[in-house]
Chains A and B, each alone.
Chain A
Amino acid sequence: MSALAEALPLAVSFDFLTAWDFWIGVGVLAGVYGIFTLGLQLNVGYTGIINFGQAGFMAMGAYSAIILIVDLGIPTVFALLLSTLITMAAGLLIGVSSLRLRADYFAIATIAFAEIIRLTARNARDLTGGNQGTISIELDNDRFYTDGWFEISNWVRDNLLDPIGLGGSEFGSLPLLILVWGVLALLVVVLNRLIATPWGRVLRAVREDEDAARALGKNAVAYKLQSLAIASALGATSGWLLALSLESVNQDVFDPLFTFIGYGILVLGGLASFAGVMVGSVILWTVLEGMRFLDLPLAADKVAALRFVLVGLILILLMAFRPQGIFGKREEMVIGD
């Protein structure tokens, strides 16, 4: 067997199937980017606005919460509430200024916004820690944004998980996985309800035919703004959860390119389906992270590049041959022209 494995450059090791900590990590990522992509789904799939700046909202949510907690010592719950409001305000500001633009201009404006946020996070070192990451401002203030969560997480591990035999170190991130997927599932239920309300129907009317919605006396711009504000709040939520899982963040984890991981999830799961986002996220992250276990004859940075080649191919092939995605509804696919 081992001789065979050596003979095959592409041999796969099967140890990974039992690497619990690894798969819990994949699950956390899938959940975080699932929440991230719910915002894109609301914008693209249900409202027909092309938001390319979701990574910027993610960054704003994470950084503003961390700065509020670490620098100003505001209790975590209030900090999270405040950071969500700040991010929504940013979303509204971008919407008010740019939503009247053509869809392609709006896409470019939002990606420029996300890049401005990333570069500001890199350059404003006193505030964000810059390249060093937020750990440097945490050490300066001797206050860590993860403290509150670790207390809860440890309590859950000692009192709930240990008794059922899941207390080992390989299950260390299990409470976070439960939290992330609990939030994601809750949001999917809430968003599905929301879309079924009269408000949701107007949203879809705006997507199908903005002028017709206007003719019926609906303020289309106001609906688009609300859609964008909710998406930015979802981005902020995912940013906070990502920060919890990474324990210190720098600007690179919010690269605008990650918005397109979200689009990969979106088109895999299908347009106009919130549940599809969950499936798409699990598929994409399993494939992306699972590639680590392929014994490829490549250096680590090249394997990382190969993952993005894969995301690119997924986007190209799905858009060419199945633009509504795997679970998307063809009749709900209005993606601009």
Chain B
Amino acid sequence: MEAGTVQVEGRAGIVRRAAGAAGARPGATALVILTLLAVILAAAYGINSFAQTSVNGVISGSYIALGAIGLTLVYGILKLVNFAHGDMLTFGAYVALLFNVTIGLPLVVALLVAIVATAAIGVLLELAMWRPMRRKGAGMLQLLLMAIGLAFVLRNGIQIAAGTQPQRLDVNVTTSIEFLGLSIGRTELIVVVVGIAVLLGVALMVRHSSLGRQMRALSDNFDLAETTGIDTGRVVIITWILAAGLAGLAGVLVVAAQGRLSPNTGFFLLLPMFAAVILGGIGNVYGALAGGMVIGLSQEWTTLFWATEWKVVVSFAVLILVLIVRPQGIFGQERTL
């Protein structure tokens, strides 16, 4: 028994030492590291190409973060690792495609329909699948494999319905805006502005509103929240509406920014989104925002010295590195471990 305890403490000590100074103020340390990296890269590759890759990084960071919010809320509150979340993004994007391109409605209308439809799917799945499974007291592997099964059904169902041909939304992908020698697509700029505005809105809501407090209470301790009189069923449904609706929005923004859509679009974003979630600390909306930006920036900065095809590998490497060095994330507390 004693040997076991000592061993546990020994490992924790190693982790703390590996994290170094990050132990004390992890957020500040991360910021310092990031700034340092930025200065080095700017010095080595020129301020202009550095700034341009940073702009690109903020663009992808904003939709990764937007997708990561839903993932982190569901993970935090329901302890569900939703492997189907990426395919919820894809679903939203295809709904928008249907209404925007096939039916010919304006993109804004199609976007709203996509958000509503994806939120509806989220609620439907909660009622049909996740709630009954929670009642049964399903174990982690059961839920993980069901989520993966759901991801298979969604993605391949979309593929059967819509085919594998890459598709485009009716958006302007050619006009770009130049300032200070940098260029950003007009649509990309809209994506960043909408993305970050919605992110901050959701973060403020979770932080300050009564509903947000209830959500955080569920995230801390589901049973305790229930005994204090919170209507957990209602909060869970709202969480799904938020998580899935934001996934639908993120899906449309991804396709608007990247200019193309295939049944794999959302799935390819799943691991970067997980990286953002874990980096930011599970259940932490501000964390997901920061984590998404870190992932987006590190992916694009990598293109300064490596071929573009390697940039996704970087986000996976960051994911594993964070899990090893600081599994509770930059902003997470020790207890989330």
Contact = CB atoms under 8 A, between A and B. Distances in A.
Interface of A: 44, 50, 97-98, 100-105, 107-109, 111-113, 115-116, 119-120, 122-123, 211, 214-215, 217, 219, 257, 260, 263, 267, 298-299, 301-302, 305-306, 308-309, 311-316, 319-320, 323, 334-337
Contacts of A323: 138-139, 141-142
Contact of A122 (B4, B155, B263, B309): B309
Contacts of B145: 260, 263, 267, 315, 319
Given A116-B316, A335-B142, A312 B324 contact: no
B320 A112 contact: yes
A316 B1 CA distance: 40
A229 to B, nearest CB: 19
Contacts of A311: 149, 152
Contact of A116 (B138, B156, B278, B317): B317
B274 A120 contact: no
A119 B299 CA distance: 14
Interface of B: 1, 3-4, 7, 11, 81, 129, 132-133, 137-146, 148-153, 155-157, 159-160, 163-164, 263, 271, 274-275, 278, 307, 309-310, 312-313, 316-317, 319-320, 323-324, 327, 337
A273 B46 CA distance: 60
B142 A105 contact: no
A78 to B, nearest CB: 30
A126 B101 CA distance: 42
B212 to A, nearest CB: 24
16 contacts: A98-B320, A102-B327, A104-B140, A107-B81, A115-B271, A116-B313, A116-B316, A119-B312, A119-B313, A123-B313, A267-B145, A312-B153, A315-B145, A319-B142, A319-B145, A323-B139
A309 B146 contact: no
B148 A108 contact: no
Given A107-B144, A217-B3, A337-B139, A312 B156 contact: yes
Contacts of A214: 1, 4
A309 B81 contact: no
A123 B309 contact: yes
Nearest to A103: B140
Contacts, number: 144
Contact of B278 (A108, A301, A316): A108
B139 A97 contact: no
Contacts of A217: 3-4
Contacts of A320: 129, 132-133, 142, 146
Contacts of B142: 319-320, 323, 335
A305 B274 contact: no
Query: Closest 10 A-B residue pairs measured CB to CB?
Result: A312-B152, A315-B149, A335-B141, A336-B140, A305-B156, A312-B153, A316-B149, A214-B4, A305-B159, A312-B149
A167 B254 CA distance: 56
Contacts of B143: 319
A134 to B, nearest CB: 19
A127 B142 CA distance: 39
Nearest to A314: B149
A42 to B, nearest CB: 15
A308 B156 contact: yes
B309 to A, nearest CB: 5
Contacts of B317: 116
